[in-house]
Structure 1
Amino acid sequence: MLMNILITGGAGFIGLNFVQYLLRNTEYHITVIDSLTYASHPKEIYALTSNSRFRFLKGNIVKNKDMERVMDQQYEAIIHFAAESHVDNSINNADKFIQTNINGTYQLLQNLMKGYFKRMIHVSTDEVYGTLTSTQLPFTEQSPIAPNNPYSATKASSDLLVRSYYETFKLPVITTRCSNNFGPFQNIEKFIPTIIHKACKNRRIPLYGDGLQIRDWLFVEDHCRAIHLIMEKGVFGEVYNIGGGNERKNIEIVKKILEIMRKSEDLIEFVEDRKGHDRRYAIDSSKLQNKLGWKQTYSFNQSLEQTVQWYINKFKGAPI
């Protein structure tokens, strides 16, 4: 299917991987708008402009004048990645999270109302569901929303805005909620890149609390494949969970990476726990698998080793 699509936040971690995935696997014509924050990849995104099917516009989705530049055509779909996402930053100051995650999503819904997009895929997170105990079943799409930090609260707010525009106006919207992603181009502030970077430099690796918090890990390319499938076959008004099915304790992840890198576990340093730190995330993707036929391509160990090597090369300054 030939189509023009718009991607917000396409220079960020998941967005850039998604853009590269589409350029490799489809004939879509892609426009990216990104404000190029500290977590973006300007060099990589500008390099893609040599492709005749790709264009990049620097801009902020909250600013009307920036969005007007993008709305020079009708798009088959908009994939909305743009978000502030680092929990620690949201705890220190939530202003940017409220502006981008809530007001930015509102601006896109207004443009959807005007007919600039034929459908909107709103990319969210499992963190909107809150936390689980060790014995509870994974979150489903019917689980109540109960965010526990400012970041997840702003994402939950944007999810509810999207839902309300479907219920009130029957707009063609779909929401996705993914588990913790990992892979190339993730910012160094995030958990797995931090571990690899510290280990490369033989520095202490900070681990919150007792390190027994559990996360469900999803390789970013499998996430990209899921979003592509949902964009083409998803049902308007629906929510689709995208989970990795790879629950691991944080300390297990650290030890596994140190094993891959042949580094000592003595580098681990336990530090004071983060405020409002959710104990466990786990997400049930059976709806996506049963209704749309999605399945993962990469095993956890295979994709983690690939990711570790990518960052080792990056931190050493070698070509990626």
Structure 2
Amino acid sequence: MILVTGGAGFIGANFVLDWLERSDEAIINLDVLTYAGNLENLKTLEGDKRHVFVQGDIGNSDLLIHLLKDYRPRAILNFAAESHVDRSIHGPEDFIQTNIVGTFRLLEASRDYWSRLKENEKQQFRFLHVSTDEVYGSLAKDEMPFTETHRYEPNSPYSASKAASDHLVRAYHHTYGLPVLTTNCSNNYGPYQFPEKLIPLMIVNALAGKSLPVYGDGQQIRDWLYVKDHCSAIRRVLEDGIPGQIYNIGGWNEKPNIEIVETICSLLDTFRPREGHSYRNLIKYVADRPGHDRRYAIDASKIERELGWRPAETFETGISKTVQWYLDNAAWVTHVQSGAYRHWVEKNYKERA
């Protein structure tokens, strides 16, 4: 079996669901269930003996040692992370604790476990660390996309904490020989994404008739990847990735934020039109966030060249599926929009009004 951390969050839950659609290999799913971790994401797995859920923190060394001893996974996939830049600006300490200290404790427990395995099991074991393109910093409009050898230049508490975790993972390979793999991925979107991120926030606000807040001039460029493509890339890296290597995962879809918002409005105008008005009328430019990176772009040629992976979805097909999913899953959206969520959105965007 494999151990997945953060498997009730957006990317982790999609990975767990996709894995068990394609394999009978069991998953131990460890998630502390913060605001963005939601067991409703995994509702279809209720009663499935291949999925063992454990509520707990990757910073809990005793729990990690216990799980590794009892279940003896052949691989550990670390999705657990605090991941929202705006939240990291308001409260960076949670990011330090989860992304740095938590990753350190997971590495320590993994190293101890791996060192006790039989030689053939040690050779087969993998520790796969899921990271972000934000560790590379910001690109000018005419610069080449990030490659795996690009210098780290994180610009937010979130990206700095992820960069630190990446460095720890690398060090554990070079110092101790732990067979690690690191993936750095571009912006994900798709089902089950918590509606604080750009795409689900725009969909949810539009359907509620609320303003669609766009930071600054809306010309911040991101490379967008449908989450199920990200999951397929991680499976390929786990299967055939070379220990110690980094693999950039991207969608070859660079688009400015305002274009993303306008595309969502156009799709909603088609799927659920407002009488007499386009959803574009709800777009509102607000003050930019501090230190907002202008452009991220991933060169994903290494994973294509070495592992034969390319995304299956274009942005056009992926965003259409995403908008339709949120339309079809209004109950899920309602359930995740707790009082705490509403308080956060009001606080974050009130400051930028």
In the TM superposition, residue 49 of structure 1 has moved relative to its aligned partner by 4.0
Letter in 2 for 1:313: D
Residue of structure 2 aligned with 1:34, choices 28, 31, 34: 31
In structure 2, how many angstroms separate the alpha carbons of the residues matched to 1:54 and 1:211?
41
Residue of structure 2 aligned with 1:306, choices 321, 332, 349: 321
In the TM superposition, residue 264 of structure 1 has moved relative to its aligned partner by 3.0
In structure 2, how many angstroms separate the alpha carbons of the residues matched to 1:12 and 1:183?
12
In structure 2, how many angstroms separate the alpha carbons of the residues matched to 1:198 and 1:13?
19
**Partner in structure 2 of residue 77 of structure 1:** 75
**Partner in structure 2 of residue 186 of structure 1:** 193
**Partner in structure 2 of residue 222 of structure 1:** 229
TM (normalized to structure 1)? 0.96
Counterpart mapping for 1:57-76 below 5 A:
57-71=54-68, 72-76=70-74
Pairing 1:266–2:263 present: no
**Partner in structure 1 of residue 86 of structure 2:** 88
Q: Which one is further off, 226-235 or 296-305?
A: 296-305
Q: Which one is further off, 58-67 or 78-87?
A: 58-67
**Partner in structure 1 of residue 296 of structure 2:** 281
Letter in 2 for 1:56: F
Residue of structure 2 aligned with 1:13, choices 10, 30, 33: 10
Q: Which one is further off, 17-26 or 293-302?
A: 293-302
In the TM superposition, residue 46 of structure 1 has moved relative to its aligned partner by 5.6
Q: Which one is further off, 132-141 or 256-265?
A: 256-265
Query: Contact conserved, 2:40 with 2:332, CA < 8 A, in 1?
Result: no
Q: Which has the larger radius of gyration?
A: 2
Letter in 2 for 1:13: F
Query: Contact conserved, 2:180 with 2:243, CA < 8 A, in 1?
Result: yes
**Partner in structure 1 of residue 117 of structure 2:** none
In the TM superposition, residue 266 of structure 1 has moved relative to its aligned partner by 1.5
Q: 1:146-198 CA distances to partner (integer Å, 9 max, x unpaired)?
A: 00000000000000001111111121001000000000000010100000011
In structure 2, how many angstroms separate the alpha carbons of the residues matched to 1:276 and 1:288?
30
In structure 1, how many angstroms separate the alpha carbons of the residues matched to 2:311 and 2:76?
24
In structure 2, how many angstroms separate the alpha carbons of the residues matched to 1:316 and 1:268?
25
**Partner in structure 1 of residue 242 of structure 2:** 235
**Partner in structure 1 of residue 135 of structure 2:** 128
**Partner in structure 2 of residue 174 of structure 1:** 181
Query: Contact conserved, 2:268 with 2:279, CA < 8 A, in 1?
Result: no
In the TM superposition, residue 318 of structure 1 has moved relative to its aligned partner by 9.7
In the TM superposition, residue 28 of structure 1 has moved relative to its aligned partner by 1.2
Letter in 2 for 1:59: G
Pairing 1:202–2:199 present: no
| Structure 2: stretches of 5+ with no match in the other structure | 115-121, 270-277, 335-353
| Structure 1: stretches of 5+ with no match in the other structure | none
In structure 2, how many angstroms separate the alpha carbons of the residues matched to 1:131 and 1:213?
10
In structure 1, how many angstroms separate the alpha carbons of the residues matched to 2:268 and 2:73?
44
Q: 1:243-301 CA distances to partner (integer Å, 9 max, x unpaired)?
A: 01000000000000000001331211000000010000000000000000001111210
Q: Number of aligned residue pairs: give it.
A: 316
**Partner in structure 1 of residue 348 of structure 2:** none
Residue of structure 2 aligned with 1:294, choices 305, 309, 313: 309
Aligned pair in 2 of structure 1 residues 318, 85: CA closer, same or farther (>3 Å)? closer
Residue aligned with 1:79, SS: strand
In structure 1, how many angstroms separate the alpha carbons of the residues matched to 2:304 and 2:190?
22
Query: Contact conserved, 2:61 with 2:106, CA < 8 A, in 1?
Result: no
Query: Contact conserved, 1:46 with 1:56, CA < 8 A, in 2?
Result: no
Letter in 1 for 2:315: F
Query: Contact conserved, 1:240 with 1:287, CA < 8 A, in 2?
Result: yes
Letter in 2 for 1:79: L
Q: Name whichever structure is richer in helix by fraction.
A: 2
Report the aligned-residue RMSD.
1.5
Query: What fraction of aligned residue pairs are identical, expressed as a percent?
Result: 49
**Partner in structure 2 of residue 145 of structure 1:** 152
Q: Which one is further off, 144-153 or 66-75?
A: 66-75
In structure 2, how many angstroms separate the alpha carbons of the residues matched to 1:105 and 1:58?
17
TM (normalized to structure 2)? 0.87
In the TM superposition, residue 66 of structure 1 has moved relative to its aligned partner by 2.6
Aligned pair in 2 of structure 1 residues 47, 57: CA closer, same or farther (>3 Å)? farther
In structure 2, how many angstroms separate the alpha carbons of the residues matched to 1:36 and 1:318?
17
In structure 2, how many angstroms separate the alpha carbons of the residues matched to 1:46 and 1:261?
27
**Partner in structure 2 of residue 159 of structure 1:** 166
